[in-house]
Structure 1
Amino acid sequence: MWGESEGTKGDATIEEIGRRRTFTNTLSLAIVLFVVQLPMVDAVRDNAGSAFDCAIPGRLSLLVDVLFIGTYVYAAYRAYKYVRFLQQPLWQAIARIGALLIFLAAVLDVVEDIKLWSDFGRQTGGCADLSTGWLTWLMRVLWVAGSLVLAVCLFATSRFGRRKLFGIEPGPRATFEREPDPGPDAGRLVICCSGGGIRSASFCLGALQLLRERGYYDKASTVIGVSGGGYMAAAFHVLRRTCADPFSPGSAELARLRRQTRYLLQGGRAMFRAALSVLFGVIVNLLLIGIMLRAIAWVLGWFLSDQKVVVATGQEIRVDWRPGGSWWFVGLSLFLIAVSAAMFVLEKVWDRWARMPDPVRKVLTTVGGVTLRYGTPVAVLLLGVPGGLYLLGKLPGGNADQPSLPSALLALVDPTKQGVASFGALVVVLIGLGRTVWNGLAVESKDPSEAGLRGRLLAFARNKLAPWVGSAIIVGAAVIALLRWTGGYATDRSYQMDWSVALVLASIAIAIKLLTDANRTSLHSFYRERLSRAFLVTRKPNGAAVSLDYSIRLRYSEWAKPTDGGPQLVIAGVANVADADFVPTQRDCVPFIFDAEQIGIVGDRSLPTGGRRRTEDYEREADVLKREVTVPAAMAISGAALSPLTGRVNSRTRPVRLLLAVLNARLGVWLPNPYWNNRDEDTFPEVTGFAARVRRYVGSVIDKPGPYRLLREAIGSPSMYDRRIYVTDGGHYDNLGLVEALRREPAQVIVIDASNDPEDRFNALGEAIATARMDHGIRIDMDPAPMIRGQKTRADRSWAYGIATHPLKEGRRQPYKTEIFFLKAVLAGHLGWDVEQYATTHDDFPRRSTGDQFYDEWDFEAYRDLGYVLAESLTDHHRVKARLEDLPD
């Protein structure tokens, strides 16, 4: 199934297709940069008699050539890595030679550019040629030789080449996923703690306290935490390593936890760091956007000016789409789109008169898709930008060196006090819209049918209108900046000749690459630290409870294991992917599980093998300092509900994706794709020796996710084939953790559910039941009717019993069954008077929105005690008690 869209008929692995895609995408970018230089080269040739007139296109060509050099070197490196991956020693050695030739050509290319740059600075005599004689020819020979060597290697190692050249019929390199038999928790008890922010953490704490007192917690083999439930599952597990009675009533750590219920913004220092974290990410994001827009405007403005499409005449800008009366500019702008349309028409005509072979159809659709992908932005830039300048030129005001724009909009790109104020106002407006949108998304406890007219209008404004307004403001500001800069470069030679701008842009880009990355600019680091300091504590010999030192690397492979009995810790997240080869329509994610032994992607049996890695190996690959795959990191990733990509709930967050990305409202993390570099041998062993450690350290820093990953978040196109995957909240797949628990084939599962379902709906349970059946063929028989309040003042009970029947496996005479004890945060039975009183004064109890993460001691205690009392009612039932007592220790 996988890879079918690539024409591999399901025989290629994810990594093979992914490496090929990475190479082809980089090669495509190199081709684009090469094509961009062509009109500049023609301009230098046309103005050979004037050093002044050819200096601008000549030096601009050299700036683009620097980008071209870096891109084709990276493409050569990716080609070599692809051949190396295919494990053909001979061709690997030849490909190494080809990559080396390309690298040598790049060195000569840089030397050539440096020399030509100084040559174009001379203002006397004729124009310098874009050539340095023998140096240029040597560079070209090396470049062509290296390209040919790599092309031969790529062809020879391809399936087509191996078949045609050597008569080798390559076999399939991919196999389907097969679950272990029996499951890793067969015959044992698994406890699941659901998502739900601080609400779920409080409720799960009470339930876990009761289960520990009754001995069921220590009997369990695994505790699975999702999002907010993962906070407490991890806190309980970490403290259990050094303390037999974690968070017992009256304990110092329980008292400390009550003081941390505003864990995200606990105190002025945390608020200050939160504000700086947001501001830091916003500034970096805007700088990256500005660099990209300025570079595009520079090249585009020069081209429109050189071709006489945009010309300054007196006090206005004149736009002529037919310079010299010719239609060639319009034809150039629409050429790629026309090719795409021609491929489509050719396919239809061919189909009308004959049967088209699949390889031909694939070529036509590929060419049509590629030309449409590149043709659309080309048409928008070459036709849309002049059109925008024409329309803006009709506004009152303006002069020859800038398009006429309203002063408030012009200020956005002016480095003046007014510009700073306007820019600041824009940021404030966006943040306000982002806050409004998030409040709307977080209000999940209200049933739309129960809301009045005012509530429905407010929900419409928050969920439908505000997201598009925020995105429109961002796009509008970007368009204004692009038009302003393009107009300046098209009409003012001083713009075109200000080469210091290139130095500033390059310096900013290099500084961003060296000083930060897409994970560091997000809020993940702040979120991870706050969770660690609030929930991960240790009890000192004198009885005091203190947070674990944040500098301690709580490596998941070590700290998630049980010590001295007790369960292991499993944290559930999701990897956001949008491939039709792997996920159903609009699911947009696959489960990503943090386990002490193996970490990575799990799911239905149609997924290919290789999605999980040894946790120790994965820790080293993710970060040489082993900071990215820790218990606090897993907690933060599993609770990363606020992200541009949100798995199954993308339909709600899609309109606001761009706004969240730009405002740095990003809690997700880019991690290495476990399908890549997954070998039987230890791919990332511990290194010894100073030189080896330095090499590994530098490589790890350079390999961190960059601006391209941020772009993937903003436009929402993650793929299982990518080298990195975006991991977020486990609730974006299954908020209960029940599907992962059943995949492990335990004898019994206790589900502690504090999801914020509309009352009497049990949406999270219904989705988990359907997902277990769809992905694993597991049928769940459960009736939650006793938990339905309906017209009664209170539900009869807070729990339900169910049976999960697993599909019959080879070697088994009858299907394996798992008992499910489902505990739900509802008002049922007789509660303590304090909880009853709290419920009368809080209409939303126990379904408080996750948008409110700031609890006081009364809120925390009410939810904690509710979890304790309801778990007690479950385990006191004689049948439940009898079933749980049968479990082995």
Structure 2
Amino acid sequence: MKDKESEKLPWRTALSRWEGQNLLFDDHFFEAYGDRVWDVKTSELGAAHALHIELVSRVATHPLGYNEGSEERALESVFSLFAVARELTRSAPEAPTFETIVWHVLNTFVRPFTAKWHVRAKTGELRALDSSDIFRAELVDLQRRLIALDDVLAKITESECYSVPVTGRPADAAVMREMTKPVSWKPMGEPSSVAVARPRTQDEATRLEKLKTAEAAFIKERRTFYGIGDNDWASGIALSGGGIRSATFAMGVLVSLSKRNLLTQFDYLSSVSGGGYISSFLTQLLGSPPDEKSALTLRSSDLPFKREEGESLLLQRIRHGASFLSAGPWERFAVAMAQAQGIFINVLMCVLLISILAYIQILLNYALTPDRRASVALAFIIAFFAWALVLPVSRTFGHQWLNLFNKINAWVCALLLVPPIWAGLQAANAVATLLREWLVPDETRLTGFAFVFFLIFGAVFSIAAALFIGFSRIRPLLMTGLTVVFVFLCEGFAFQVFSGLDEITALKVMISLLAVGLVLFVLFNANSTSLHHYYRTKLLQAFLLDKHAQPTLPIKLSAFSAPRAMFPIINCALNVPGSKMPEMRGRHADLFSFTPVSAGANLIGHFPIADWESKNPQLDLATAMALSGAAVSPQMGLRTSRYGSFWLTVMNIRLNLWLRRPSIGGTLRRYPNLWNLQKELLASASENGAFVNISDGGHIENLGVYELLRRRCRFIVAIDGENDSQMTFHALTNLQRLAYIDHGIVIEANLEDLRLSEKGLSRSHFRFCRIRYPAGSGDQHEQIGYMIYLKLSLTGNEGEFIRRYKFDEPAFPHHPTANQFFTEVQFEAYRALGEHVGDKMFLPAITGLADTSDVLLENWFYGLGKSFLDQSPG
């Protein structure tokens, strides 16, 4: 029914509902048309209704979910309004009210939007989600104005038509109900399937309860300092492995989080390998005993993230230390000598083992004269077949006897290897004899043999090193074959040496070698020749700084001061390729972590960090950081191979350490010796014994999220800076596997927008993931946490500096991890990319929040959840 009063009103009054800078009509409009009398002609009603139908049926007035629809189609839909309005205006020439209002809105608000985004769409910019995020934000603002236009059209027709509600997605309410449900925090974490399989004593249960209480106390003390509510849920940041590349990228992201004052709201900082460089920097700086004269906190208004007419001196010092492995001539010489010493001892151990084998062969040759060998071989065959006949009968002797016979049977069957090994040794002796006769005169036999030995050693190793680089598909087969050939040739040369000596001299040589081996066994410390010490020193000088930005002595983790720093978790790998635990099958390692409260792994249990430090005086923050980044070691968790362990040990390419366990008593050994070194050589380390082998956390889990999942963190930010040029997401998918097998935790991650396009670009830098924690003791239903997964990636719309650097360095942003010598330009490219990626997480288009200097952690995650998540079927 028509409003007769409005017909006599001026437009200024009739349209006052839609007046204002953020709506449709401003002062300029009313200056031009405000004095007109509101008088709608009958011919205008059809045109107004037709445009109303167009508006309510298009994306132009309906919310477009973050993971819904196409930006190009939305832009096309908006642009087509011009054609519709043009046709309606042409068909209704006597429609001044309709024409004026509609074209005012289209020309004032719609045309600038379409003109801007048509150009960008043609250049492919809309393919990058961080550009489409801006598009969607502007689309939301335009939709609000078009909905207001639809209200004006309703006033023109003066009929009760369908009106578009200004609401969010229907799923938003369900997503919010899900996200506000509680998630129970578990200090020290849930036991994994490995811990459950291993019997737990009452003493261990009591010890774990004390450790849980201590960890919770650290977290609560920190929350009190920053004025954070004492929630019953926890949050954490994970910094992945990847050397200086990962550290630099993570530093940029942390700067972005700091600008929003978010770092104070996270409880845990979990790191692996390269991520541990930045984590340890913050732990040393903020976890040292407090100094009231220095304002060092995680607040954006304090150092180290406070900007002082630019980047703070502390962060600048990190930048300058990016090429931390660089060294002067004398330092390089000293490292080379230390490396040579390690190689000499490792080769000496190999020579000793091979010499023992050769000497045994000499003795057997003396005992087994040619006329006896046939009889011994016949007796061997008869005995083996006799055993084969006895074994089936043993099944009637009872279960206990059957188990005994089965154990003996394994050793008897192993005797089948004796003939081929013997034949191989004889062949090696023959080859060695030919080489001796060809290369070495008889009168210089011993000297010549030594020369040939090292000549062959160098040649075989050179070939082996080359094969490490090429022939990737058949590398394991080639390397295994070369290693076996090398060992047999060495044995052949040792056999020739002993054969050239009389019995007394040969015995004296063997006794001398055994004496040297005994001395080494008693006095040699396997850790002393590891390159860990050099690596630790260089990391310490680059990243462990005091308030004056100068290198300082590392703190003991047991002396960590809780209030100002996030609770650190430094992740390593416990190498156990020789473990008999079925849970270690295929893994060869378990996750080992250092915290200010404890250290340990599920496989061996967790003990107070002070106990580890008392057994290992060298253990401090710098040691933990270097072990977490011990990427090159003979035993490398999932990547452990027998031939690799052999060559890496022989060439002393070892960044790992053996740590003494606090739980093992009654041993006289204060440090690891040749026995431990041979375990590295043969890749046979296990969880048993007084010492455990620790190396890079990336050897088992390179994202650093596992320990946060064990603690059931509700909100997690995972910064993935690993080398992944093909975007295969090894770190995340490996985490998914470990989390489900060990804890029944499911991580739901849709990674399509991170994969590479034909141009080698991703659509987005990050994704929002659900974490489904299974119902545990005392829980009736599963609990759901959330993870922001940030990936080292390019979308194509980064700043000009980053785009230029990509042009100059095609490998960017995935330079190999072996490159630990970053230039200033390289460092800034990765740091700037990290800050760029971090900033993109706060676009109002996806958070629904204003991007301010004080963002609440919960609200931020809620906003991202409403944009990314669909309603859970559960």
2:801 corresponds to which residue? 834
Using the TM superposition, give the Cα deviation of residue 715 of structure 1 relative to its aligned residue in structure 2, in angstroms: 2.0
Using the TM superposition, give the Cα deviation of residue 709 of structure 1 relative to its aligned residue in structure 2, in angstroms: 1.8
| Whole-angstrom CA distance in 1 between matches of 2:344 and 2:200 | 35
Contact (CA 8 Å) 1:233, 1:569: kept in 2 or not? yes
1:246 corresponds to which residue? 304
Question: Cα deviation per residue 1:620-650 (whole Å; 9 max; x = unaligned)?
Answer: 22x2xx11x3212212222222122222223
Using the TM superposition, give the Cα deviation of residue 195 of structure 1 relative to its aligned residue in structure 2, in angstroms: 0.8
Contact (CA 8 Å) 1:188, 1:887: kept in 2 or not? no
Relative to structure 1, the CA distance from residue 547 to residue 381 in structure 2 (aligned partners, 3 Å threshold; closer, same or farther) is same
Question: Cα deviation per residue 1:444-488 (whole Å; 9 max; x = unaligned)?
Answer: xxxxxxxxxxxxx65458x45763475256314422333223423
Relative to structure 1, the CA distance from residue 304 to residue 769 in structure 2 (aligned partners, 3 Å threshold; closer, same or farther) is same
**Does structure 1 residue 263 correspond to structure 2 residue 324?**
yes
Contact (CA 8 Å) 1:190, 1:741: kept in 2 or not? yes
2:497 corresponds to which residue? 485
- Any idea what SS the aligned residue of 2:546 has? strand
2:857 corresponds to which residue? 884
Larger radius of gyration: 2
| Whole-angstrom CA distance in 2 between matches of 1:14 and 1:582 | 14
Match of 2:283 among 237, 254, 257: 237
Output aligned runs, 1:177-216, within 5 Å. Answer: 187-216=233-262
1:366 corresponds to which residue? 407
Relative to structure 1, the CA distance from residue 754 to residue 531 in structure 2 (aligned partners, 3 Å threshold; closer, same or farther) is same
| Whole-angstrom CA distance in 1 between matches of 2:605 and 2:833 | 39
| Whole-angstrom CA distance in 2 between matches of 1:414 and 1:630 | 52
Using the TM superposition, give the Cα deviation of residue 420 of structure 1 relative to its aligned residue in structure 2, in angstroms: 6.4
Relative to structure 1, the CA distance from residue 481 to residue 703 in structure 2 (aligned partners, 3 Å threshold; closer, same or farther) is farther
Contact (CA 8 Å) 1:343, 1:364: kept in 2 or not? no
| Whole-angstrom CA distance in 2 between matches of 1:614 and 1:482 | 49
| Whole-angstrom CA distance in 1 between matches of 2:430 and 2:458 | 31
Using the TM superposition, give the Cα deviation of residue 616 of structure 1 relative to its aligned residue in structure 2, in angstroms: 0.8
- Any idea what SS the aligned residue of 2:335 has? helix
Question: Cα deviation per residue 1:92-143 (whole Å; 9 max; x = unaligned)?
Answer: xxxxxxxxxxxxxxxxxxxxxxxxxxxxxxxxxxxxxxxxxxxxxxxxxxxx
Q: How many matched pairs? A: 629
Question: Cα deviation per residue 1:684-735 (whole Å; 9 max; x = unaligned)?
Answer: xxxxxxxxxxxxxxx77x3322222222222222333344332222112211
Contact (CA 8 Å) 1:736, 1:751: kept in 2 or not? yes
Using the TM superposition, give the Cα deviation of residue 599 of structure 1 relative to its aligned residue in structure 2, in angstroms: 0.9
Match of 2:526 among 504, 512, 518: 518
Using the TM superposition, give the Cα deviation of residue 299 of structure 1 relative to its aligned residue in structure 2, in angstroms: 4.8
Match of 2:273 among 211, 217, 227: 227
Contact (CA 8 Å) 1:433, 1:466: kept in 2 or not? no
Contact (CA 8 Å) 1:769, 1:780: kept in 2 or not? yes
Contact (CA 8 Å) 1:786, 1:795: kept in 2 or not? yes
**Does structure 1 residue 657 correspond to structure 2 residue 645?**
yes
Using the TM superposition, give the Cα deviation of residue 874 of structure 1 relative to its aligned residue in structure 2, in angstroms: 1.6
Relative to structure 1, the CA distance from residue 376 to residue 202 in structure 2 (aligned partners, 3 Å threshold; closer, same or farther) is farther
Output aligned runs, 1:561-572, within 5 Å. Answer: 561-572=560-571
Relative to structure 1, the CA distance from residue 13 to residue 747 in structure 2 (aligned partners, 3 Å threshold; closer, same or farther) is closer
Paired amino acid for 1:572: N
Relative to structure 1, the CA distance from residue 782 to residue 638 in structure 2 (aligned partners, 3 Å threshold; closer, same or farther) is same
Which ranges of structure 2 fall in alignment gaps of 5 or more residues? 1-194, 220-231, 289-295, 298-302, 850-854, 862-874
Paired amino acid for 2:655: L
| Whole-angstrom CA distance in 2 between matches of 1:718 and 1:348 | 36
**Does structure 1 residue 806 correspond to structure 2 residue 773?**
yes
- Any idea what SS the aligned residue of 2:655 has? coil
Relative to structure 1, the CA distance from residue 829 to residue 566 in structure 2 (aligned partners, 3 Å threshold; closer, same or farther) is farther
Question: Cα deviation per residue 1:398-435 (whole Å; 9 max; x = unaligned)?
Answer: xxxxxx55426999x9664x666655545654664565
Residue identity over aligned pairs, in percent, reads: 24
Contact (CA 8 Å) 1:277, 1:526: kept in 2 or not? no
Using the TM superposition, give the Cα deviation of residue 880 of structure 1 relative to its aligned residue in structure 2, in angstroms: 8.5
Paired amino acid for 1:568: F
| Whole-angstrom CA distance in 2 between matches of 1:188 and 1:745 | 7
- Any idea what SS the aligned residue of 1:591 has? strand
| Whole-angstrom CA distance in 1 between matches of 2:200 and 2:421 | 35
Contact (CA 8 Å) 1:227, 1:639: kept in 2 or not? yes
1:294 corresponds to which residue? 355
2:744 corresponds to which residue? 777
Relative to structure 1, the CA distance from residue 751 to residue 12 in structure 2 (aligned partners, 3 Å threshold; closer, same or farther) is closer
Match of 1:611 among 582, 589, 605: 605
Relative to structure 1, the CA distance from residue 770 to residue 264 in structure 2 (aligned partners, 3 Å threshold; closer, same or farther) is same
1:78 corresponds to which residue? none
- Any idea what SS the aligned residue of 1:618 has? helix
- Any idea what SS the aligned residue of 1:721 has? coil
1:130 corresponds to which residue? none
Stretch moving more, 737-746 or 576-585: 576-585
Normalising by structure 2, we get a TM-score of 0.65
1:546 corresponds to which residue? 550
| Whole-angstrom CA distance in 1 between matches of 2:441 and 2:478 | 21
Contact (CA 8 Å) 2:243, 2:817: kept in 1 or not? yes
Paired amino acid for 1:527: Y
Using the TM superposition, give the Cα deviation of residue 238 of structure 1 relative to its aligned residue in structure 2, in angstroms: 1.1
- Any idea what SS the aligned residue of 2:607 has? strand
| Whole-angstrom CA distance in 1 between matches of 2:404 and 2:477 | 42
**Does structure 1 residue 859 correspond to structure 2 residue 823?**
no
Relative to structure 1, the CA distance from residue 864 to residue 410 in structure 2 (aligned partners, 3 Å threshold; closer, same or farther) is farther
Using the TM superposition, give the Cα deviation of residue 871 of structure 1 relative to its aligned residue in structure 2, in angstroms: 1.2
Using the TM superposition, give the Cα deviation of residue 361 of structure 1 relative to its aligned residue in structure 2, in angstroms: 2.2
- Any idea what SS the aligned residue of 1:201 has? helix
CA RMSD of aligned residues (A): 3.9
Contact (CA 8 Å) 1:576, 1:728: kept in 2 or not? yes
| Whole-angstrom CA distance in 1 between matches of 2:390 and 2:335 | 57
- Any idea what SS the aligned residue of 1:736 has? coil
1:735 corresponds to which residue? 702
1:636 corresponds to which residue? 626
Output aligned runs, 1:308-327, within 5 Å. Answer: 309=369, 320=370, 322-323=371-372, 327=374
1:474 corresponds to which residue? 486
Normalising by structure 1, we get a TM-score of 0.63
Relative to structure 1, the CA distance from residue 228 to residue 791 in structure 2 (aligned partners, 3 Å threshold; closer, same or farther) is same
| Whole-angstrom CA distance in 2 between matches of 1:473 and 1:820 | 50
Using the TM superposition, give the Cα deviation of residue 762 of structure 1 relative to its aligned residue in structure 2, in angstroms: 1.9
Contact (CA 8 Å) 1:562, 1:568: kept in 2 or not? no
Paired amino acid for 1:301: I
- Any idea what SS the aligned residue of 1:661 has? helix
Question: Cα deviation per residue 1:11-56 (whole Å; 9 max; x = unaligned)?
Answer: 997799xxxxxxxxxxxxxxxxxxxxxxxxxxxxxxxxxxxxxxxx
2:115 corresponds to which residue? none
Paired amino acid for 2:487: V
| Whole-angstrom CA distance in 2 between matches of 1:522 and 1:434 | 22
Paired amino acid for 1:648: L
Using the TM superposition, give the Cα deviation of residue 836 of structure 1 relative to its aligned residue in structure 2, in angstroms: 1.1
- Any idea what SS the aligned residue of 2:252 has? helix
Relative to structure 1, the CA distance from residue 181 to residue 290 in structure 2 (aligned partners, 3 Å threshold; closer, same or farther) is closer
1:357 corresponds to which residue? 398
- Any idea what SS the aligned residue of 2:779 has? coil
Using the TM superposition, give the Cα deviation of residue 615 of structure 1 relative to its aligned residue in structure 2, in angstroms: 1.2
| Whole-angstrom CA distance in 1 between matches of 2:622 and 2:717 | 24
1:273 corresponds to which residue? 334
Question: Cα deviation per residue 1:184-241 (whole Å; 9 max; x = unaligned)?
Answer: 6861221100011121111112112222332222322111111111122112221233
| Whole-angstrom CA distance in 1 between matches of 2:842 and 2:611 | 40
Using the TM superposition, give the Cα deviation of residue 378 of structure 1 relative to its aligned residue in structure 2, in angstroms: 6.2
1:407 corresponds to which residue? 439
